[in-house]
Amino acid sequence: ETTFREVFHGTSRAQWPQVAQNISQRMGFGGSVTNLDVSLPEQTDKPFHYAYDYSHKEYADWNNRRIVPLTFPVSLTEIDQDETPTEPIQLGSPRTETHKSTIELPQNYTAQLPRSVKYTTPFAVYQADYKLDGNKLITERKLEILEREVPVDKAAEYKKLAKNVTDDEGQFIQLVAAGTKGVDTAAGNPEAQQFLQSAYVDITRHDYKAAHSDLHSAEQLNPKERGLWMEAGYLDMMENRLDDAITDFKKEIEYHPENALAYEAMAELLVKMKRNEDAERTLRDLLKVIPDNTNAELQLGSLLILDKKYDEASALLETAMKQAPDNKNIAAQAGRAELLAGKREAGIATLSNSMKGSDDPDALNNAAYELADFNADLANAEAASKKAMGILEKQTAEISLGNLTRDDLAHINLLTAVWDTMGWIYYREGKLPEAENYVSAAWTVTQHSEVGDHMGQIYEKQGKLEAAAKTWELALSAETLSPDPSGTESIRQNLAKLEGKGIKSDGKAASEQLAQMRTLSISKRWKGGSADFFVLISSEKTEDAQFIGGDEQLKDAAADLMKLKITGQIPKGSQAKLVRRGTLYCPDAGDSCTFTMLLPQSTGIN
């Protein structure tokens, strides 16, 4: 085994700071290392001393006030949980290692302590203790290696130990306001957690029957298990039992008032149910439990803007921005609130400053869009949008269906939003062909009402009044409607103006036309059936197609799908690639099949 002493001994002293930085990052600490203090490696007659200062803004999940102890992981041999070892597992020399972390909590906060644990096996013992000493969170972890190796027939026992250790080391510790109702963390049931993890997978696969079964099993083991009622709420949402979902989220909050995600999920659902006052109350309740929760402040600020409480939103978000000066998304929303509250100069300055030095495409896009929406500082907005687009197009250009991740899909969804922003900026600048190039692609892919509104305005400015009327009518029937009712009302007013000029739609059902925009035909080579596929497209062709599930006889239809010419999805000149998920349907009769692409929000990985 290589020790820290050996690492530093083989390195020149000038390189020690960089070595320490690398070690820290490999240990899972991504912050900055300074003030390194290392004893001379060659002095082997003395204990090796290694210390440094560590700085990391927004450490762990700080936005939700969740942290992890500042300790290195214990040196337990890693093993693949899905494989069966064919040779003994080497643990190294028998030894004892102890890790201790003391964190001084912010004023007015306390911590919901994890349960202390001890796992004993014939070959190793792991123990973790958590306690509070005033406002100090103290964590002690101890690993004793008793044997040099684990025989193959004991591999299952070792896997269980390794997983327990990993779960303990990887868990977050929730900070809450002092005086918050305590939580019986000792009541947690590891077996119930396994059922919850299975339920999560079931829901992502749309296997709701299995999810119900797993959640029932978890409830039988522990009806107060953390996350149980959160998962039940998500399942009820997927099955459109929205009132039941609200009841589930409330029960999660009752049992676990420190679970910020339950408040946030319930508030989001309440907004969809147009119960904005209840959503606002929910987020304010969260901020009583976890003060200065950045995510909650951002969500509440957005809700206040939606309800046209601009001054209140501005005050809230300006305070949040001061508390989290490096959070660019807070700054973008604060700038928007300032503009809506009539503080035009302050809002423009906030948005422009939020884009300086940022490489976060989401934050860049948010700020650029707000500037475009208010027709302000368009040069900076254009530069920021192009930067965000460049980052995302590079990321999506490297996508492969054989190694598709949720991050890949998130990049694609954000890229389409950036295309809309880019086109909206060009519209403000009077560059209508460029505006149409980007917004048309975003509208074709997302069919989002707000993007459709932009497309309609571009057509109207170009004098294409029939196209504008048709697009606005489609936008009013879109599945993805803007949460702001004023946006929908604006579209209706624009349509009414065109009708006053004698411009009318073609009378075809808008919902059917929207579906047709996402549907293509291929020659039928199979009997009736249906199957789901991913397709990967570039501006030139369909790059790849992959069977997801459904009738096995349709599996070889991937080759036919790769021959499809899927146009209008990507702006001219873009190097991006898009993943679309769709259903291939072959009726019993007829000589053709249809491939209907799902909207991006319905595109998931099973």
pLDDT, tens only, 135-189: 899 999 999 999 999 999 999 999 999 989 998 998 888 888 877 765 554 457 8
**Residue 604 confidence (pLDDT):** 57
User: pLDDT tier at 606 (50, 70, 90 boundaries)?
Assistant: very low
**Residue 507 confidence (pLDDT):** 64
**Residue 15 confidence (pLDDT):** 78
pLDDT digit string (tens) for 24-66? 776 667 778 888 888 877 778 888 787 888 787 767 788 778 8
Q: How many CB atoms lie within 10 A of CB 402?
A: 7
Ramachandran angles phi, psi of 474, nearest 5°: -65, -40
Choose among 520, 529, 525: nearest CA to 552: 529
Task: Tell me the C-alpha distance between 389 and 422, whole Å.
Answer: 8
- Highest mean pLDDT (candidates 14-28, 195-209, 470-484, 581-595): 581-595
Residue 24's alpha-carbon distances to 50, 73, 96, in angstroms, are 12, 11, 22
Q: Return the amino acid letter for 552.
A: E
The string over 375-398, giving b where at least 16 C-beta atoms fall within 10 Å of a residue's C-beta and e elsewhere, is ebbbebbbebbebbbebbbebbee
**Residue 584 confidence (pLDDT):** 96
Residues of the chain by 3-state class (helix, strand, coil), percent to 5: 50, 15, 30
Could you tell me which residue, 507 or 330, shows the higher pLDDT? Answer: 330
pLDDT greater than 50 at residue 367: yes
Compute the average pLDDT of residues 386-402: 93
**Residue 186 confidence (pLDDT):** 44
Per the CB < 8 A criterion, the answer to whether 24 and 32 are in contact is no
Residues composing the chain:
606
Window from 104-113, 335-344, 429-438 with minimum mean pLDDT: 104-113
Residue 127, token pair as written in the block:
């123990």
Long-range contacts, 131-136 (Cβ 8 Å, 24+): 135/104, 135/105, 135/107, 135/109, 135/110, 136/102, 136/103, 136/104, 136/105
Choose among 235, 285, 240, 243: nearest CA to 264: 285
pLDDT greater than 70 at residue 561: yes
User: How does DSSP assign 448-462, residue by residue?
Assistant: BHHHHHHHHHHHHHH
**Residue 181 confidence (pLDDT):** 64
Q: Return the amino acid letter for 12.
A: S
Ramachandran angles phi, psi of 397, nearest 5°: -65, -20
User: How does DSSP assign 531-600, residue by residue?
Assistant: EEEEEEE-SSSEEEEEEEEE-GGGGGGHHHHTT----SSS-TT----EEEEEEEEE-SSSSEEEEEEPPG
**Residue 482 confidence (pLDDT):** 67
pLDDT greater than 60 at residue 103: yes
Task: Give the whole-number percent of the chain exceeding pLDDT 90.
Answer: 61
Window from 59-73, 78-92, 282-296, 349-363 with minimum mean pLDDT: 59-73
Task: Tell me the C-alpha distance between 80 and 126, whole Å.
Answer: 19
Compute the average pLDDT of residues 428-446: 97
Average pLDDT, the chain: 89
pLDDT digit string (tens) for 315-349? 999 999 988 888 888 999 999 999 999 999 999 99
Per the CB < 8 A criterion, the answer to whether 63 and 33 are in contact is no
